[in-house]
Amino acid sequence: MKKKLLISTGGSGGHTIPAIILYEHLKNDFDIFLTTDKRGAKYINKNIYNYKLIEIPRISKNFFKLPYLLLCLIVSFFKSFFFIKKNNIEVLISTGGYMSLPLCLSAKILKKKIYLFEPNTVIGRSNKFFIKFSEKIISYYKNLKNFPEKYKNKIFLINPLLRKKIYQEKRNLENKVKKPFTILIIGGSQGAEFFDNQISTLMIDLSKDLEISIIQQITDESKKKQLKEKYTEAGIINDLFNFDEKIFQKYNQVDFAITRSGASTISELIYFNVPFVAIPLPKSKDNHQFYNAKEYSDQKLCWLVNQSDYKKENLKEFILNLIQNSDNYFEKKNNMIKFSYQNTWNNINQKLLALINEN
């Protein structure tokens, strides 16, 4: 009989997409269950994945909301507790965030094995709290920031998780720049206003000196229409889109990217050898987006610009110089190829199976 395993997730795509990838890696060897909240559900294809919705209230500092939040947390805890007990769950894998609190607590009380997943360079607060109760924490980095020294032996290293379809997609390994120079812009689900406004203005200015085309993620439908009109008026070929689970199919069309630095996005860009400038979300928890980008910038895999230091003229000049003096550009592409050499579906799959099947 297969071991029963629960993957808990929710919140942003940064939590939910890795949960789906873990599900795909483990579904053939375990009887798998999936839980999420309403925010995470929008990233999950309900026609493919059967999940249980357990709504977890967002933590608020508003004193007057505390009684309501406490009541909701208690309800969430009992839902989680009885879900784990009823389905005889033996192992819980949590992808972190406040959504994991009632499920991890329930698993601890029921004496189930807990594995944590941390895709960022800074350990999340929920994962940090539960690390002492966990078997291992699955991570891309051996030196997680804010990580308790006494639990260092619990870090289990793997290559960045990528969706299976990504490995099946042909990568463009050519060392040449297309014409027009195609730029991918990914503002993410949070703080995208800066990209919609500032980066779009940069693109219009850049188009006066360089033939470019743009592929851009837009989260606001009304903003999408405005930007399309601006780009078209400036004579820029453009493809504007909302959340797209097949965004990886666009990577081979582009020469360069400007992006936030969520773990999933930058891992995919590196795998597809797309040189990029990361502009981290300034208000990300514990500034984790900055440290994500810095980790890769230090390895000469990307460029890093703080939003507070951003100047349109500087980034424009940087892009123009990058094309005219392309050694730096191709160095990044070659470094990415080397970095992703061992990142294969089978390598990660075997490591995960060995981990869960221990003892």
pTM assigned to the model: 0.89
Q: Do 4-162+343-356 and 167-339 agree at the fold level?
A: yes
C-beta atoms surrounding 302 within 10 Å: 26
Q: Looking at the structure, give the CATH architecture of the domain made up of residues 4-162+343-356.
A: 3-Layer(aba) Sandwich (3.40)
Q: For the chain, how long is the longest CA-to-CA vector? A: 65
Collapsing DSSP states into helix, strand and coil, what is residue 137? strand
Integer Cα distance of 93 and 103 in angstroms: 10
pLDDT at res. 169: 87
pLDDT at res. 190: 63
Phi, psi angles (nearest 5°) of residue 257 = -135, 150
Integer Cα distance of 331 and 309 in angstroms: 25
How confident is the model over 119-152, as pLDDT tens digits? 999 999 999 999 999 999 999 999 999 999 999 9
Indicate if the pLDDT at residue 244 is higher than 80: no
How confident is the model over 184-218, as pLDDT tens digits? 999 876 657 888 889 999 999 999 999 999 999 88
Q: Which residues are CB-neighbours of 194 under 8 A, at least 6 positions away?
A: 187, 279, 307
Region 162-170: mean pLDDT is 91
Q: Could you give the residue ranges of the DSSP H alpha helices within 221-344?
A: 221-233, 263-271, 288-298, 312-324, 327-339
Collapsing DSSP states into helix, strand and coil, what is residue 292? helix
Residue 61 binned pLDDT confidence (cut-offs 50, 70, 90): low
Separate counts of helices (H) and strands (E) for the chain: 14, 13
How confident is the model over 285-298, as pLDDT tens digits? 788 899 999 999 99
Domain boundaries, the chain: 4-162+343-356, 167-339
Percent of the chain topping pLDDT 70: 96
Integer Cα distance of 296 and 278 in angstroms: 10
167-339 belongs to which homologous superfamily? Glycogen Phosphorylase B; (3.40.50.2000)
Mean pLDDT in the chain? 90
pLDDT at res. 358: 81
